[in-house]
Amino acid sequence: MQPAFDFSRPYWVDTHCHLDEFVAHGGQAHADAMREDARRAGVAHCVIPAVERSNWSVCRDLAHRWGDSYALGIHPLFTPDAREADIAELGRALAEGQGDPRLVAVGEIGLDYFVPGLDSGRQEHFYREQLQLARRFGLPVIVHVRRSADRLLKHLRELPVVGGIAHAFNGSLQQARVFIDMGFKLGFGGALTFERALQLRRLAEQLPVEALVLETDSPDIPPHWLYVTAQQREAGVPQARNTPAELPRIAEVLAGLRGLDARELARVSVANAVAALPKLAPFVAQGTEAWPKNPR
């Protein structure tokens, strides 16, 4: 299940996609077909972050099945059902995975102050414990940041890690610069494609291109061409599922905002992904220096 990829042509890395959900909702054959569609579209590699103990093994197995990579962690939205024993179990899983080149980060972890009803103290406890594990194993982190950037950064200052990715970043320019100074790259995906996302688009234009990585967060955060409005949903129109195959078109939007040739954005974004998650290098660094460089 690891087809050869033509690394001599420009390609993309989806640094954040929950591909286990395609197995859960459509079966393995459906997920295999979806991943092959993305490969044909030019997505050479995906990073599959886990969200709770029950899907750690699934994410690991899919990464090996498809030649992708994975991260292990407890997502803030899953902290209500997480147990203290899960932290110890995560430590054991990370220890066992030290020899696995496809285990590239601790994630998805972080804080979410948008969803009502979540215990902020409990979120912060699990977040800090996972930062400690990332420090112990020398791994970067993939962090969920939703209306929580300042608090999340506070804990990072107290428990600094080797860097990572601020997933689906939508904070301020000042917050972005702090993340960058801490060795993080910032993830941009489908939300960028909406013309009304003015602040996010300004960030995508103003930040150094070396700070940006691309992601889909599939099946979530669909780009505008897949989005179904509330009115359409009420009329029975189903929400189309976002997949990694959408990444090249999302990248075209970012390239247009920055005035870059898409081939150059592909080269830079792959290099940025490797800088954020160094264990990706053996899988995706092939051939990028030979790509045509044609920035505008």
Q: Which two tokens stand for residue 212?
A: 């940006």
| Beta carbons of 51 and 75 less than 8 angstroms apart | yes
Distance CA 184, CA 182 (A): 6
Distance CA 289, CA 271 (A): 10
Show binding-site residues for a divalent metal cation.
Answer: 16, 18, 108, 144, 167, 217
> Torsion angle of alpha carbons 66, 188, 220, 266, nearest 10°?
-30
Distance CA 193, CA 201 (A): 8
Show binding-site residues.
Answer: 16, 18, 108, 144, 167, 217
| Beta carbons of 257 and 201 less than 8 angstroms apart | yes
3-state secondary structure of 14: strand
Cis amide prior to 278 (ω within 30 degrees): no
